[in-house]
Amino acid sequence: MRVALGVSYRGTRFHGWQSQPSGRGIQDHLQQALARVAGGAVTVVAAGRTDTGVHAQGQVVHFDPFVERPLTAWVRGTNAFLDRDVAVNWAVPVGPDFHARHSATSRSYQYWLYNAPVRPSVLDGLVGWIHTPLEIERMQDAARALTGEHDFTSFRSAHCQARSPVRELTRCDVESRGNYVRFALTANGFLHHMVRNIVGALIYVGSGRLPVSAMLDLLEARDRRTAPPTFSPDGLCLTRVGYPAPIDLPQPDPLPWP
């Protein structure tokens, strides 16, 4: 039987999702906890590989247990061995053809930015920060240019290993909530650093360092060197992974802040 898990984590103290020689990947930590429940080594596959400092509320993984355990054991038992920054939220049996990554049809991220003269304290690590005042309407206008299917070469990391830079961005929203700005993006897939690079470019637009039309210019340039620097990972969170019917997995809770 193949099992899918819903996993959430605060990525601040980890070296990203993927297994690391240091053992500080979230994958390492989860596999070690599952192994203590299973009584042997377990390998998990995730829907997305988040970077160092990036969080997740809606990560989905799958694994093939070699022993039979009640589903509650994969949740409560595993959580008993996990750091408090990581939690398994649910466990669901899935068919042998289900693949957390390859079966996914969409991924959604949110980036929370604190826009104020003084850096955040309580939410340090959970939100990005910029002290320069931002014009939200300019950012909203620029974000609309990114929706649709495009070559996102200008927004991918130089180390991105994806075979194609083409992605379909179905949502790119910017909204203001007091001193906070929320960026919400959904696509059929994301390139390495793509969300952080988009956020960085939109911040340049909002601060007046780039015109609203710059987003189209960057898309057409297809050159990472023409775009602003990659923004901080602190406020980035994987919020949801979408799957086609009849795959029906529990939905993650919405983010509680601000």
| Active-site residue set | 51
Q: How far apart are CA 156 and CA 84, in angstroms?
A: 32
* Of 8, 29, 7, the residue nearest 18 (C-alpha): 29
User: CA dist 27 to 22, 204, 219, 232, Å?
Assistant: 12, 34, 33, 22
User: CA dist 131 to 16, 54, 121, Å?
Assistant: 27, 21, 14
Cβ contact 101:45 at 8 Å: yes
